Structure 1
Amino acid sequence: MMFPPISFLTATVTALFVIAALAAPNDTSLAVKPWEISGVGTHSPSGYPANAPYSTLFVSISDPNHIVLGSTRFGDAAFPPSSVNCTVRWLGALENPYGWVNTCTDINHGKWTVEILPGVVTTSGPQSYSSPTTNFVLRFTLSEAVVLMTGTIYERFVGTAAFAVGDNMSGSCGGSGVCNWGLKETVVRPVLVNQTLVETRCLFGSCE
């Protein structure tokens, strides 16, 4: 009977160890579910006397994933699912909210933020100009950290979603100039946001 050479066996065993390492629980490059936006809305004020001159954006987003990064004698070290509400308020005629980093409601294991970015501009219609209430992109960041047996690991995920009146938003403006916009009734909910892991850092100790 012919046996494979030792070098072949060594290479095979090494490859198996590499595959096992890539599939380890603390590898968050494994497939994750997209984030889920359940609602988004904007408000523009009328500008009438005795009215507040603030514009507002509101969005609700969830992370459905339970990401296990390691095991400890107290249980799994993991990033659990989370759901938050995010609100951005600015003086409609005086402030430009693009690029502001706005903290969403609290979660125990990390922090959500949202930024309003300029929307995708087309040649005509309501998308022919960018607006933080009618044509904009939202950039979400989820930063999370958890203590392992030998160290603390930190990870940061980022995802974006575009919204525009005439595309996936609708609403109306009153005679006073006040406007309210939200997701179209025909838009499939939740709106999915494909997130990307952009940073992994061992804050201290060993996170292997």
Structure 2
Amino acid sequence: MRHYRPILALASCFTLVASSGAYLETPEPWQVTRLNTFSPSGRPGSDVNAHLWANITNPSPIPAGPGVTFDASSANCTVNWVYAGDYPYGHVFICNTTDTEESSSSSTSKWTIEVLEANVTSPSATTNMDVRFTLTTNLTVDGDEYYKVLVGTQHFQVGENMRGSCGGSGVCSWTLRDESVPVLVQPTVVACQGTC
């Protein structure tokens, strides 16, 4: 009988790890379906603001715990800054978040966006930049609180996954190349509570 107890204990541990393995999987990639930038001409009397607009979707529910998931969600994000002499770097902007219509739980989601200076020779907040998306999702079930914070960063650059043009007035407008849509962003979990 003694010989079976360690084996039984090991089998129980293996079962626990195997059953929770689904929650340790790499999250599904997010999808950026729109990313546009605009820079003004800089002429006196014209608009001085630059803009970046992005749509991002987490298309799949995220495991939170046994039998519990966070809903899929999407967001519309806007970054505005004064183009001449200012940059959006180092600022976090809150996105307008929408949970999917086929909600399976009462989870809440919040998306944010940051424009990062790309580690390249000619970085630009409108034509050659890194964009970081952060998704925070929360859920309470039977008094148990669950949350996850996921972060994903992707590089966007004219000539690679973006295209556009500048007009004679100096106004420039850029967007995702059709063949690049959706641009995938691989998130990683940076904080969580519940089954991580």
**Same structural fold, with TM-score higher than 0.5 when normalized by the shorter chain:** yes
Count of equivalent residues: 188
Q: In the alignment, which of 55, 64, 82 is matched to residue 91 of structure 1?
A: 82
Distance 1:69 1:149 in 2: 14
Provide the secondary structure at the position in 2 that maps to 1:15: helix
Distance 2:139 2:17 in 1: 25
Is the Cα contact below 8 Å between 2:134 and 2:152 reproduced in 1? yes
Distance 1:40 1:120 in 2: 20
Percent identity of paired positions between Structure 1 and Structure 2: 37
Distance 2:138 2:124 in 1: 34
* Cα deviation, residue 21, structure 1: 4.3
CA distances 1:123-180 after superposition (whole Å, capped 9, x unpaired) = xxxxx31110011000000001000213212210000000111222111111111101
Matched, 1:201 2:189: no
* Cα deviation, residue 78, structure 1: 2.6
RMSD, matched Cα: 2.4
Bigger mean CA deviation after superposition, 172-181 or 9-18 = 9-18
Is the Cα contact below 8 Å between 1:119 and 1:163 reproduced in 2? no
Is the Cα contact below 8 Å between 2:53 and 2:79 reproduced in 1? yes
TM-score w.r.t. length of structure 2: 0.85
Q: In the alignment, which of 24, 31, 40 is matched to residue 45 of structure 1?
A: 40
**Closer, same or farther: CA 8–152 of 1 in aligned 2, 3 Å:** closer
TM-score w.r.t. length of structure 1: 0.81
CA distances 1:11-46 after superposition (whole Å, capped 9, x unpaired) = 44223333344236xx3x224310000011110001
Provide the secondary structure at the position in 2 that maps to 1:99: coil
Alignment match, 1:118: 117
Gaps (5+ residues) in structure 2?
A: 100-107
Q: In the alignment, which of 10, 32, 49 is matched to residue 8 of structure 2?
A: 10
Q: In the alignment, which of 51, 62, 70 is matched to residue 79 of structure 1?
A: 70
Is the Cα contact below 8 Å between 2:42 and 2:84 reproduced in 1? no
CA distances 1:170-200 after superposition (whole Å, capped 9, x unpaired) = 111111111011112332x211100000001
Provide the secondary structure at the position in 2 that maps to 1:9: helix
Is the Cα contact below 8 Å between 2:50 and 2:80 reproduced in 1? yes
Distance 1:70 1:183 in 2: 36
Amino acid in the other structure paired with 1:146: L
Q: In the alignment, which of 144, 155, 162 is matched to residue 155 of structure 2?
A: 162
Alignment match, 1:124: none
Gaps (5+ residues) in structure 1?
A: 122-127
Alignment match, 1:180: 173
